[in-house]
Structure 1
Amino acid sequence: MAKEPTPLKNIYISLICLFGVLVGGTLGYMIVEDWSFTESLYMTIITVSSVGFKEVRNLDLKGEWFTIILILFGMGTIVYGITNLTAFVVEGDLRKILRKSRMEKNIDKLKDHFILVGLGRVGKNIAYEILRMGYPLVAVDSNEENLAEFDSSSQNFFTLLGDATSEKTLEKSGIMRAKGFVSALPTDSENLFVVLTARQLNPNLRIIARVNEEENSEKMIRAGADKAVCPAHIGGLRMASELIRPAVVDFIDKMIREKDGKLRVEEAMITSSSPILGKTLMEAQIPKKSGCVVVALRRACGKFEFNPKADTILNNGDAVIVIGEIEKITELKKLVS
């Protein structure tokens, strides 16, 4: 079924019709009355607009009948245009255009934000978690309903309607300034194309992609994704864990699944400018100063150290993995940076 024309499109049609009336009226007077172009255009305008100025010259019978027809067409076009303009304002299209313009200006100001492509069932859960942690997020989706239905009052949430396989759309999302990128579209082929485009635009961006088939994970990584996540695989592991280790699953749920949950497993990167660089865990006093519990350390080489000892030295590029409340984790990142 064909889509009904939008109010904005109807306004364009109205302008085209009005232009057609002006052209037709001008040519008509030039042919019927043998007037000049300027006289014919002037007569057409005062006739269509009904301003009541005197005719350029006296009309003969053919000119009078032509004027009657021109008035009918002209008034019909004006009424049609006013109706479309009213619908454009009342139905919210004008408000949507202004909102879109403001949104794009706000996105242009973002830096070190996350980009989420696909705000479906999987994407919504990703968005809620990112926003709960206080990070700015740009959600890109070609389905306007998905963007409108997402319930978020966060000032860090920005939306962009468009096709994520298009370079222009990703550029509008601020991909060159982004910190991370997630492609959570319904099909593996769509995600593969988006990952290829995103990696081409920003070679240094961390990219996570959704895959529906586990065997496609390697292909997604070769296409440019840093990690490929299969919801079906993770869902299966979760169900098995519910049988084998229910207490552990309940604990993880408290951290992740509950929308109001404040406990999280988080990481804090040690950089060259970190005040705790080169110190031991005992000297850094992370639990005392931040209230977070250190559970592991990931070295810059990728090796993990679980329950690291107090004399473990923190080096550049290491990631300290902790458990703590969201507010405490914020304090930890201030301490580390």
Structure 2
Amino acid sequence: MRENENRLIRRHARQASVVLFGLLLLGTVGYHIIEGWPLFDGLYMTVISLSTIGYGETNPLSHEGRVFTLLLIFIGVGNLAYVLAGTTQFFAAGGLVAYRRRARMERNLETISGHTIICGCGRLGLAILHELEAKNAPFVAIERDPELIETLRAAHPRLLLVQGDAGEDDVLIAAGVKRARTLVAALNDDASNVFLTLTARVLNAKVVIHGKADDPDTLRKLERAGANHPFSPSLVAGQRIAEQLTRPTVAELVGVVTSITDQELSIEEVPASAIPGLVGRPLSESPLWGQARTLVLAVKKADGRLLFPAEADYVVVSHDYLVLMGEPAHLRLLVATSGT
């Protein structure tokens, strides 16, 4: 859809340029041949005739010259009216606004980094999109269905959206896969998610990939293709429901701390390097340790290992991430300050 609109804009601009140049050339050469005028005088007469300014004749016109002027006005005004009508229709249809919005989105796509790429905006992808949007987390969505794309753009005007097949290199590159932090393979079939995972892993060896498998037997294939966290929505839902049935209090606590709504508790991960006075010191000496509003639950190492529980004498390094639990407003401030 976006390519078609850009093509229409370019075609309209090209047609307008050709019509205008052709009329100016016709008038200039016509006056030069019929009246023997210099080219500049012919161009000047053409401009004032087509613009209907009516300054008068630059030089006396012969009968043939006046007939040519009449024909030039009829032809020129008709063609210029056609160009003007097309331009008016373009503006009235919101074409300029849409074009500027797309241009702004493309500039943002070129500079975004450390973001999440959602591949596929079906039910799962849309749910993830809403969660990330609620958390003000940077992300880019990839979708190939033109109708769904129009719906998404109408509902989310500032959404960074790339149209195309997520399994193609150029589409992933346009979404900033080489600068992305995480990628979610949430396409409609398992084979496409496996191929997407393999393609994304080749383009970015460090991106963290979450791969969806409707068939639990595909989980191993996703892992071999390069997915860090293969998952099956049916298994995840089953585990969550079983948790609610067997350990309702634990399930309720997990639901509270992972909810995007304002609750009394929340869990976030924050890079250690973003908190002043933390790197190179034991956790017990950090400004977070022992705070009433924040509890350091665990430390995530650069290689993915999770140190739980967080020990007071652990010396923090720059690539660590801290898993914190506390008041949502306080944690949101830490996350916003860290830029995650």
Q: Normalising to structure 1: TM-score of the pair?
A: 0.68
Amino acid at match of 1:159: L
State the identity %: 29
2:222 — aligned with what?
220
Amino acid at match of 1:129: E
- Residues 85-137 of structure 1: CA deviation (Å, up to 9, x unaligned): 12222322212222333344445444433333444432333234334445333
Q: Residue 199 of structure 1: SS of its match in structure 2?
A: helix
User: Are the aligned partners of 1:199 and 1:205 in contact in 2 as well (CA < 8 Å)?
Assistant: yes
User: Are the aligned partners of 2:185 and 2:211 in contact in 1 as well (CA < 8 Å)?
Assistant: yes
Q: Residue 266 of structure 1: SS of its match in structure 2?
A: strand
Note the C-alpha offset of 1:313: 3.9
Q: Identify if the C-alpha distance between structure 1 residues 84 and 267 changes in structure 2 by more than 3 Å, giving closer, same or farther.
A: same
Residue from 98, 102, 108 that aligns with 1:100: 102
Residue from 126, 129, 132 that aligns with 1:127: 129
Amino acid at match of 1:220: L
2:154 — aligned with what?
148
Aligned residues: 323
1:230 aligns to 2:232 (yes or no): yes
- Residues 260-313 of structure 1: CA deviation (Å, up to 9, x unaligned): 446333345667x9836573x66668552363345556667766665x385674
Question: Which aligned pairs between 1:44-193 and structure 2 lie closer than 5 A?
Answer: 48-50=50-52, 54=57, 71-142=73-144, 143-150=149-156, 159-163=160-164, 164-165=166-167, 167-193=169-195
User: Are the aligned partners of 1:7 and 1:85 in contact in 2 as well (CA < 8 Å)?
Assistant: no
Q: Identify if the C-alpha distance between structure 1 residues 201 and 300 changes in structure 2 by more than 3 Å, giving closer, same or farther.
A: closer
Structure 2 CA distance for aligned equivalents of residues 193 and 20 of structure 1 = 52
Q: Residue 90 of structure 2: SS of its match in structure 1?
A: helix
Q: Identify if the C-alpha distance between structure 1 residues 326 and 21 changes in structure 2 by more than 3 Å, giving closer, same or farther.
A: same
Structure 1 CA distance for aligned equivalents of residues 186 and 270 of structure 2 = 25
Structure 2 CA distance for aligned equivalents of residues 289 and 9 of structure 1 = 63
- Residues 244-263 of structure 1: CA deviation (Å, up to 9, x unaligned): 44443333332334534463
Structure 2 CA distance for aligned equivalents of residues 290 and 176 of structure 1 = 40
Q: Identify if the C-alpha distance between structure 1 residues 87 and 265 changes in structure 2 by more than 3 Å, giving closer, same or farther.
A: same
Structure 1 CA distance for aligned equivalents of residues 306 and 285 of structure 2 = 20
What runs of 5+ residues in structure 2 fail to find an aligned partner?
none
Note the C-alpha offset of 1:220: 3.0
What runs of 5+ residues in structure 1 fail to find an aligned partner?
152-156
- Residues 32-60 of structure 1: CA deviation (Å, up to 9, x unaligned): x7999969988876665545564999677
Residue from 246, 250, 256 that aligns with 1:254: 256
Note the C-alpha offset of 1:27: 9.2
Amino acid at match of 1:275: L
User: Are the aligned partners of 1:147 and 1:159 in contact in 2 as well (CA < 8 Å)?
Assistant: no
Q: Identify if the C-alpha distance between structure 1 residues 256 and 42 changes in structure 2 by more than 3 Å, giving closer, same or farther.
A: same
Q: Which moved more, 1:10-19 or 1:137-146?
A: 10-19
Amino acid at match of 2:254: I
Note the C-alpha offset of 1:217: 2.9
User: Are the aligned partners of 2:162 and 2:175 in contact in 1 as well (CA < 8 Å)?
Assistant: no
Structure 2 CA distance for aligned equivalents of residues 84 and 54 of structure 1 = 31
Structure 1 CA distance for aligned equivalents of residues 97 and 73 of structure 2 = 34
User: Are the aligned partners of 2:297 and 2:310 in contact in 1 as well (CA < 8 Å)?
Assistant: no
Amino acid at match of 1:162: Q
User: Are the aligned partners of 1:286 and 1:332 in contact in 2 as well (CA < 8 Å)?
Assistant: no
Q: Which moved more, 1:320-329 or 1:47-56?
A: 47-56
- Residues 121-173 of structure 1: CA deviation (Å, up to 9, x unaligned): 3233323433444533334445243133138xxxxx75144334554554444
Amino acid at match of 2:94: G
